[in-house]
Each structure stands twice: as structure tokens, then as C-alpha cells.
Amino acid sequence: MPDRQDVIVVDDLEKTYHLGEVEVKALKGISLNIKEGDFLVVTGRNGSGKSTLLHQLGLLDRPTSGKVRLNGRDATIMHEKERNRLRLRELGYIFQEFALISELTALENVMLPAMMLEKTSACKQRARELLAAVELKEQADHLPSQLSGGEQQKVAIARALINDPAVICADEPTANLDLVSAHEVLDIFYMLNTVANHTIVMVTHEHEETVYGNRLITLSDGKISHEE
């Protein structure tokens, strides 16, 4: 395999929350490198810091200390506008709860991020292709409320892919899905990684899902306790 470049470099990352007067250290000095083409599965018990780490990688939150470099650029010191630009172009984020806009159809939800960059017709065309790829061609004009959980998550995946991001971050994407839908979603991630060479970081607490990745880290009490 040719030498792969680091897409994300995490250096001594710490995140502390303040719940009233109580200080909760969610991340305690995490360091890791994610290379192009990695399918990194992050696992651990509830409260181990998995989602907190993913929020940092997805630039949805800022750390208390440490650095997150995306394609060599330190995102932790960037202005919010620049972080926004990276979220739009370089990152695709998939939430556990799908996070679709309820008043937009599947097609409109998928094309929305692309409308920041391209003409409507081009956005629509690409969104249709992506929906077809996740086998939702017929449901393109359905509202989220008219879709099953699995279908909504597929729409969220298509939305995450619309701007062809460098990294896809998925936060427990199967947690709200039935077994069949969960496998469909995981198969999509697997194909995205192995066929389309997308870099994927997926958080899960389901042990059996760890087999889909090519790297695994386990978090425990805000630290990496195991890595393979």
C-alpha cells in the first residue's frame, strides 16, 4: 500500500465540561493520527468520551486544550467562519438521531450543503445520484417523517457525502436502527471506505460493528485504552 497521508492529527486533546460546580474531564490527552482511507472505529462504554472525541474531529466543538489538525491545518485556533468552511467542504457528519430538517424532502436535505457551492441543478443531480446509491431513489420527495429510521440515516449519509468530504464522521449511526437497517448502513460505510476510499471515523458501542473498520481504538475514562 502506498504511503498514506495523515488527514487528521489529534495531539494531546483534552475536553473538560463544567456541570454546575462539578468539573468533568471527558477527554484526557488523546493523541492519534487518522490516515487517508482509514476506517477508524471508536468504541468504549457510555461516558468514555467517544462522542466527545467525534465532536472534536467533526469541528462541532472546541477542545479545552490540545490540537486537531485537518489536512495539516490547526482547526482549534481557526475562526468559526473557517471551521464552518471545513465542515462544509472537508467533513461529513452523521448524527445518531439523523438530524434532518423536517420541512425538507430527502432530496432537499441532501442537496442543501451543496447549494453553498454549486448551482441548484447540479446540486439536485448529485443529490439524486447519491440517493440512488443508498437505494432511496423512489423516496427522494418524501419528508423525513415519511421515512423509516434506516431510510433517514441513509439520507443523512447521502447528505454527508454531497460535497465529497475528506472525512466522514458517524456518531453511533446504527443506534436507532433495527438490525436489518443497521447492517445496510454499515454496508454502505464499508463500501464507501473500501470502494470509494473515503476516510471514515465511526463511533459505536456495539462490539460486533467494530469488524467493519480497519482500525479500532477503545476509549476508557477519556483516554485511549486499547488500539489495534
Residues 6+ apart with CB under 8 A from 222: 15, 25, 26, 27, 28, 30, 48, 49, 52
CB of 82 to other proteins, least distance (A): 11
Cell numbers that stand for 12 in this block: 494531546
The DSSP code for 222 is T
Comparison of 96 and 199: residue with beta carbon closer to other proteins: 96
CB of 138 to other proteins, least distance (A): 20
The answer to whether 176 and 206 are in contact (CB under 8 A) is no
Comparison of 42 and 110: residue with beta carbon closer to other proteins: 110
CB of 37 to other proteins, least distance (A): 23
Cell numbers that stand for 162 in this block: 454531497
**Residue that is written with C-alpha cell 448551482 in the block:** 119
Helix (H) or strand (E) holding 55: helix 50-57
CB of 185 to other proteins, least distance (A): 18
The answer to whether 154 and 184 are in contact (CB under 8 A) is yes
Q: Which of 216, 205, 215, 214 is nearest to 182 (CA)?
A: 205
Comparison of 39 and 98: residue with beta carbon closer to other proteins: 98
Comparison of 9 and 104: residue with beta carbon closer to other proteins: 104
CB of 215 to other proteins, least distance (A): 25
Using CB under 8 A, list all residues that contact other proteins: 55, 58, 60-62, 80-81, 84-85, 87-89, 93, 95, 99-104, 108, 112-113, 115-120, 143, 159, 163
Comparison of 117 and 211: residue with beta carbon closer to other proteins: 117
CB of 113 to other proteins, least distance (A): 5
Comparison of 124 and 150: residue with beta carbon closer to other proteins: 124
Alpha carbons within 13 angstroms on the beta-carbon side of residue 87 total: 18
Alpha carbons within 13 angstroms on the beta-carbon side of residue 190 total: 10
